[in-house]
Amino acid sequence: MSETSPITGPEAAILVMFMQAGFAFLEAGLTRMKNAAHVEGQNVLIFGICSLVYWAIGFGIAFGDGNGVVGMHGFVPSVDELLAVGQAPFSFFGSIPGAAAYLFEVVFAGVSLAIVWGAMAERAKLWVYFAFGVFFTVVYSVTSHWIWHSGGWLFGLGMQDFAGSTVVHYQGALAALAGAILLGPRIGKFGHDGRANPIPGHNMPYAVLGTLILWFGWFGFNPGSTLAVVTGRHLGYFAYVALTTNLAAAAGALGGIATAWIVLRKPDVSMMLNGAIAALVAITAASGFVAPWAAVVMGFVAAAVAVVAVPLVERVGIDDPIGAVAVHGLAGVWGTLATGLFAVPALASDLATGRGGLVYTGSFHQLGVQAIGLVAVGAFTFSASFGCLWTMKRLWGIRVEEHVETAGLDVSEHGMWGYPEFYIPVPGGYGTGSHGHLLGHGHVRREPEAEAA
């Protein structure tokens, strides 16, 4: 095999696209039954919106030839532009055709957008998905250009973000935070004394399945980002990236449940899931830059950060149903900064990005570059997202009416139930026939709407 032979971009992209299924299960599982179909369906909706917008303008903004701030070419790319390799307007991609590059990059944009809706779940109007989905795809594309395009200004400084702790996860969490603040908490989430009331999700097995799917899809996310069989002077470097990814996730799962056991005094399963995902978020920036031992440390610490941060977010009055701000935001910050601590100089040299980290060099240079990137992306993404959502809120309103939220978005927004048998009596179904006698023997049917109380 030639040293310039690329790894098959579409195959890695398909793994990343499958993460949409992971988010669908995770978000539906951690929210209530009456919103299940709505939460599941929006993951399909947003990926459709993102795919079209990214083809039309996002891909050109992110990876088209331009300046240090934005790509200015490659909008609505044609056949010739998508089949060319290493040529304008996508000369950045020197080993794969434009079409393969688009397919690989658009699934990353879809993941970032999926993070946004997790924190806004159960109370945002359906049309907001369309409008803000278009807007955020453009915002995401701008920061992608800064960090991932060789002409981007943060790339020029040497910022290390191998597969998107900052670009994908931190950025998605910032938009999610803006949305959660402007929407306000769900009905009944906070009592009159300001204390948070638990609103448990309806299906923990869904959440577990979603987490495992995300873990699986991450092997396209990080290893696929090598985009080549040979990286620097290493053959099959994508396998090494897969190893650091898996080690971090494993440490995160253990770190999540261990921290929950110590801090919350119970080995909470949901915190184990949060720990695994937080670890994956953190290692995403560093997977190509760090040693295995550092991946383990990063994963464990990321899990601890997430477990502690989830209740802290609630204490400041923010209702985030899936923990996006803590798991994707704060873990993304940790992963980005930790790369500046643990980056191996030789690996940074092979990847031709930045320098070795503080632990190896004694220099704060790389850590400083990472911090600059976080501040720049944070200021731009949060202000742009907050401004867009605030404007839509003032002009049209972005939150559903109280009776719509109480009834559930499934029936109110879509005219259907995710679990119709629980709401619509059918012969032989739940609460009728063979099940009906249970209601007469001290078994009270629990109405899902009551969970909102």
The DSSP code sequence of 114-141 is HHHHHHTTTTB-HHHHHHHHHHHHHHHH
* Spatial contact of 14 and 219, defined as CB atoms under 8 Å apart: no
Q: For position 238, what pLDDT does the model report?
A: 87
pLDDT tens readout for residues 122-133: 999 999 999 999
DSSP, collapsed to helix, strand or coil, labels residue 102 as helix
pLDDT tens readout for residues 162-193: 999 999 999 999 999 999 999 999 999 999 88
Q: Report the alpha-carbon distance of residue 342 to residue 345 in Å, rounded.
A: 9
* Spatial contact of 248 and 255, defined as CB atoms under 8 Å apart: no
Q: pTM, whole model, 2 decimals? A: 0.91
pLDDT tens readout for residues 242-276: 999 999 999 999 999 999 999 989 999 999 999 99
How far lies 204's CA from each of 142, 218, 268, 273, in Å?
36, 21, 11, 10
How far lies 2's CA from each of 8, 152, 231, in Å?
14, 29, 12
List the one residue out of 30, 43, 335 whose CA is nearest residue 211: 30
If you average pLDDT over residues 286-294, what whole number do you get? 97
Torsion sign (Cα): 141, 106, 36, 130: positive
Look at residue 448 and tell me whether its pLDDT is greater than 50.
no
DSSP label at residue 400: -
Look at residue 9 and tell me whether its pLDDT is greater than 90.
no
List the one residue out of 122, 142, 124 whose CA is nearest residue 132: 124
pLDDT tens readout for residues 196-205: 999 999 999 9
Look at residue 428 and tell me whether its pLDDT is greater than 50.
yes
In the chain, the amino acid numbered 63 is F
Q: Report the alpha-carbon distance of residue 77 to residue 59 in Å, rounded.
A: 9
In the chain, the amino acid numbered 147 is I
Q: Report the alpha-carbon distance of residue 385 to residue 391 in Å, rounded.
A: 10
